[in-house]
Amino acid sequence: MPAFVTTLAQALGQPWVRALAYAACILTGWIGWIGTFPLDDAYITLHNARALLAGADTTYGGSPLVGATSLVHLALLALLGHVLPLVTASCLLNILAAGAYAAGLDKLARNCGVAGWQVAIYTIIGLTIGSVPIQLCNGLESGMALAVATWLLVLARSRFLPLLAGIAPFVRPELGLLAALLLADPFLKASARGKANMVGYGLLTALPFAIWSVLETGHILPNTVSAKLAFFVEESSDLLERFRMLLGALTLSQVLLLMAGLIAFKKSDLTRACSVFTIVLLLVATATQPGALIWNEYRYLMTLVPVLLVCCMALGQDLRYPVLMLGLFACAMAFLPTSLDLLQQSRAHTERELRLLRHNAALVPRDTKVLIHDAGMIAWVAPRLHLIDAVGLKTAYAAAAHKRFTKTVCRWDRALDDTARHFGTRYMIVLQKPLWDCVGSNLVRAGWTATSLGGQDRDSDYRIFAIQPPLSR
């Protein structure tokens, strides 16, 4: 082996060198940050935090918790918002979550018997594979979900597991399943007193968020999933088509490569729990909404990265040479520039749209009711408007309308007509891109007239329309 390779391997065995390498991976995603996030969803969270700090959501009405996927992330963002501008607070929260994720991966690798320089390589894989670099910088709870999933695995044999398990579903609902699978074996083996302690520790962290959610929304967990399922109804019930969509998502996200680790599913209780979690999550997504697997640059699939890395580490221990680890590392490095370029492009696009939306929204009369479908950026730049979320994440009536009337995507006529009439909306803002432009065309097909508002900057991908209902039903 060349001397420089030996020297590098020895250096990576040092904790401080590994910490520097992880910091470089995390901070690379923030190089050239222009103060924006790559997704509209990040601005829903920012709006919710601002409304929480203000004590009310005057833009959408109702509780700021409505439409929030992660109560833990929202609470921490609002807490930091007391001392920092919310955009800065969101950036800091993303960096802290990424740091916790990296520390967890390093500890997890050592728990799984990985030693020396390979600990660093597995951790760097976890930080850079697929769209993970985007998830760590997207202004959402994605990085926190990765961190919590990783530390659940780290604490799998610890008495502190129930404490983290209690808050896991309030970071992201699917993490509740992972927590339950990891708790099952120690719970069944525990004495009666041990079982009581585990339940007590779990309730200690879960109850505050559960009570807060019930008081604010009437639900223990967020109802965003049911709203999305009602709006994004899958037209095809063909099982083969659904599995084709699943395979495409797994391939493009690079999660399929990590699934090689499932070969080691029998090796330990931990690998069995990870394998079951992966299979159940993918089967549920395939049966209900396979298209969701590609949303937000594979946001939900990326939660599987630390879970499947456990299986890959276990499989790697049985291989004579670290071919699987090095293959995953090579793949991660090969596609990392693409992910970082997409991140920068998305941020620049968001910056432009925020600027143009701020200008165009000023043309809409104050306190006007406006039908929208992207609930984040417009709420962030124009909180003076009264917004009606056509998807139903922030407007419960719209979600109920889709459950009654919507049978497939881009056939939202009746649901949109019912919602727009109910609230008396007179403007709508529609993204002029495939799928989303159906919001405008479907409402027109339902008999409404839509007139593009004069004076708006046409460089924006969003178009504002003045709308009028049919003269008679």
Buried residues in 74-85 as b, exposed as e (16+ CB within 10 A): bbbbbebbeeee
The predicted pLDDT at position 5 comes to 60
Model confidence pLDDT, tens digit, residues 359-401: 999 999 988 999 999 989 999 999 999 999 999 999 999 999 9
Residue 448 burial by Cβ neighbours in a 10 Å radius (0-12, 13-18, 19+): buried
Judge whether 247 and 296 are in contact, CB under 8 Å: no
Model confidence pLDDT, tens digit, residues 429-460: 999 999 999 999 999 999 999 999 999 999 99
State yes or no: pLDDT of 36 exceeds 80: yes
Model confidence pLDDT, tens digit, residues 249-308: 999 999 999 999 999 999 999 999 999 999 999 999 998 888 889 999 999 999 999 999
Bridge partners of 74? none
The two three-digit tokens of residue 248, written as one number: 């495409």
First-to-last alpha carbon distance for the chain, in angstroms, is 80
The Cα 169–Cα 303 span in angstroms is 13
The predicted pLDDT at position 222 comes to 86
The two three-digit tokens of residue 234, written as one number: 């899958």
Helices within 295-407 (DSSP H only): 295-298, 304-318, 323-361, 377-381, 396-405
Model confidence pLDDT, tens digit, residues 98-153: 999 999 999 999 999 999 999 999 999 999 999 999 999 999 999 999 999 999 99
417: amino acid identity, one letter: D
The two three-digit tokens of residue 111, written as one number: 């728990």
The predicted pLDDT at position 9 comes to 67
100 contact partners, CB below 8 Å, separation of at least 6: 144, 147, 151
Q: pTM of the entire structure?
A: 0.95
The predicted pLDDT at position 320 comes to 80
State how far the alpha carbon of 396 is from the alpha carbons of 214, 330, 388, in Å: 15, 46, 10
When mean pLDDT is compared across 174-183, 250-259, 320-329, 410-419, the lowest value belongs to 320-329
Residue of 342, 303, 349 whose CA lies nearest to 134: 342
State yes or no: pLDDT of 472 exceeds 60: no
User: What φ, ψ does residue 45 adopt, rounded to 5°?
Assistant: -65, -45
Residue of 368, 165, 350 whose CA lies nearest to 273: 165
State how far the alpha carbon of 125 is from the alpha carbons of 305, 322, 349, in Å: 9, 14, 28
pLDDT bucket at 6, cuts 50 / 70 / 90: low
The predicted pLDDT at position 319 comes to 83
Mean pLDDT of the region 65-83: 96
The predicted pLDDT at position 370 comes to 97
The Cα 280–Cα 286 span in angstroms is 10
How is 350-366 classified by DSSP, letter by letter?
HHHHHHHHHHHHTTSPT
- To the nearest whole number, what is the mean pLDDT of the chain? 94
When mean pLDDT is compared across 85-94, 218-227, 324-333, 389-398, the lowest value belongs to 218-227
The predicted pLDDT at position 8 comes to 67
- Please, what's the largest Cα pairwise distance for the chain? 83
Model confidence pLDDT, tens digit, residues 262-276: 999 999 999 999 999
Mean pLDDT of the region 62-82: 96
The predicted pLDDT at position 234 comes to 72
Model confidence pLDDT, tens digit, residues 193-231: 999 999 999 999 999 999 999 999 999 988 888 888 899
State how far the alpha carbon of 439 is from the alpha carbons of 315, 330, 470, in Å: 48, 42, 17
The Cα 142–Cα 130 span in angstroms is 13
